[in-house]
Amino acid sequence: MAKVRGTGMAAVNYPTGMNLGGDPSQALIHATTSGSFNVVLAATDLGQGLRTVMAQIAAETLGVPYEQIVIQTADTDTGPHDMGTFASRATHRVGNAVKVAAIEARDAVLQLASEELEASVSDLELDGEGNVRVVGSPDKSLAIADLASRAQFQYGRTIAGRGVWMKPKSEVDPETGAMDPDSTQAYACTVAEVEVDTETGIVTVLSIRSAYEVGRQVNPKLVQGQIVGGAWMAVSHALYETTEPYYPSRDHRPKDFGDYLMPGPADMPAVESVVLEVPSANGPYGVKGVGEMTANSPIPALVNAIHDAIGVRIDTLPVTPEAILRALDAKQAEAAADAPAPAEEASA
């Protein structure tokens, strides 16, 4: 009876987006006469920070401060069509649609500015703080807020943009499975350390350390939210949760949080990570997407670490204390038998 430690790793990739009847999203942007910009979407923020990320993309493209962006979502009477928030698609597709719309709105700003400043559009730049100026002549500058007001009241012109981004549906060849199911893929590599109590079967997760490659982080702190929350959910999948503890038997199904087990705050180790950015070819500012992948790579890393600790492979999830103890018993029984073959395969 001992506490034994082990280390395990796993490396995975995760695709961005869906291949279900086409995967489009739209966005609409218009300037108010006070120079802020309304971005109208039907996309859904699940709490991961979609409203923030879209505002950042819009602000970046329009060259205005983040605080000048208002995100409105989700109302089908005003927001144009969007497939939904899932498949790690939102930052990529909705972000692309927002960027396209913002480019059209920005071009309207630049066009008006070029007329007022009597300079060609190619000689203008955005200062990122809400002003348009002639390159090399900082005194020849106009505030976008003022341009927006004059557009409405003096020129009768709109400062607005429409954006759509679609990944077309790709048919799947019924014989070969040939298909184009995603726009890009992100990568993760996790190393996990565990300590297994061979008397109780309880696994303590000592550390989860990962590298993630996500194309581009729009908001690093929000990416951290996905990394830590995802690691927690992975620990839960690997060691705790199930709707059918004796699957495929339907007995003892949990009905509330009291019997649907998930790790609590004291059950989690520090989650360390490093994030790489290798911009994708087709995401807004090189974005790939991260929301689902972070819950995947720690699962096999943990199970590989358990094997490193106790010398038994467990191929059934979740790896509960019962599963550990049964695996250890099976290993002991095999070792006790006369057969000289290495006893290292066991299914819970």
CB nearer to another protein: give 151 or 280: 280
User: Is the C-alpha dihedral spanning 286, 107, 50, 222 positive or negative?
Assistant: positive
CB nearer to another protein: give 16 or 151: 16
CB nearer to another protein: give 62 or 145: 62
CB nearer to another protein: give 143 or 268: 268
CB nearer to another protein: give 165 or 212: 212
Question: Rounded to an integer, what distance in angstroms lies between the CA atom of residue 159 and that of residue 137?
Answer: 24
Minimum distance, C-beta of residue 129 to another protein, in the bound complex (Å): 8
292 is catalytic: yes
Minimum distance, C-beta of residue 108 to another protein, in the bound complex (Å): 20
| Tokens found for residue 90 | 């939102």
Residue listed under structure tokens 């759509």: 164
Rg (CA), the chain: 26
Q: How many CB atoms lie within 10 A of CB 252?
A: 10
Comparing CA positions, the residue from 172, 37, 5, 45 lying closest to residue 104 is: 37
Minimum distance, C-beta of residue 283 to another protein, in the bound complex (Å): 9
DSSP annotation of 67 reads G
Minimum distance, C-beta of residue 150 to another protein, in the bound complex (Å): 25
Give the strand pairing for 37-40 and 69-72: parallel
CB nearer to another protein: give 35 or 304: 304
Comparing CA positions, the residue from 213, 216, 218, 209 lying closest to residue 275 is: 213
Minimum distance, C-beta of residue 3 to another protein, in the bound complex (Å): 20
Annotated catalytic residue, options 60, 193, 241, 292: 292
Instruction: Answer for the pair 211, 189: CB distance below 8 angstroms, yes or no.
Output: yes
Q: What contacts 196, CB < 8 A, 6 or more positions away?
A: 3, 4, 5, 6, 202, 203, 204, 306, 309, 310, 324
Question: Rounded to an integer, what distance in angstroms lies between the CA atom of residue 303 and that of residue 285?
Answer: 36
Minimum distance, C-beta of residue 109 to another protein, in the bound complex (Å): 16
Q: Please report how many Cα atoms fall inside a 13 Å half-sphere around the Cα of residue 74, on the Cβ side.
A: 16
Q: What length is written for the chain?
A: 348
Comparing CA positions, the residue from 263, 206, 207, 255 lying closest to residue 236 is: 263
List the catalytic residues: 292
